[in-house]
């Protein structure tokens, strides 16, 4: 199992650069109305800004369960498919990180997907 320090360090330096930016680059944004695209860019930028709060596993879990989920739920009001695809890709890329896959954050990311999907019902 990876130490808490390693996973926090990894998340501080790779959450935006790897998980979020890679997901952003992979999402199909063509044919989206400007209003939706602007809302998406705003949400992604707000999520990027949250990385600075990644100081411990508990802090990361709190940010993911709180602010990230809240921002993606707001995006879902404009484009449910876009919000879902983006979240799935962010989680997928974070889970590819060895330090995350072997840490308690793995369960937090799975919970994030589950809670997001439950909220749409």
For residues 50 and 109, the answer to whether their CB atoms sit within 8 Å is: no
Q: 61: closest CA among 16, 4, 120, 3?
A: 4
Band the pLDDT of 118: cuts 50, 70, 90.
Answer: confident
For residues 18, 67, 116 and 41, what is the CA-based torsion angle, rounded to 10 degrees?
Answer: -60
pLDDT tens, residue by residue, 21-36: 999 999 999 999 999 9
> Domain ranges in the chain?
4-119
State percent of the chain over pLDDT 90: 88
């Amino acid at each position: 199992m990876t130490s808490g320090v390693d996973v926090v360090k990894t998340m501080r330096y790779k959450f935006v650069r790897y998980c979020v930016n890679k997901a952003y680059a992979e999402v199909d944004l063509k044919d989206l109305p400007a209003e939706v695209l602007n809302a998406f860019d705003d949400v992604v930028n707000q999520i990027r800004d949250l990385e600075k709060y990644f100081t411990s596993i508990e802090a990361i879990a709190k940010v993911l369960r709180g602010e990230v989920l809240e921002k993606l739920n707001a995006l879902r009001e404009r484009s449910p498919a876009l919000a879902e695809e983006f979240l799935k890709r962010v989680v997928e890329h974070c889970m590819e990180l060895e330090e995350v896959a072997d840490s308690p954050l793995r369960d937090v990311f799975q919970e994030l997907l589950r809670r997001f999907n439950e909220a749409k019902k």
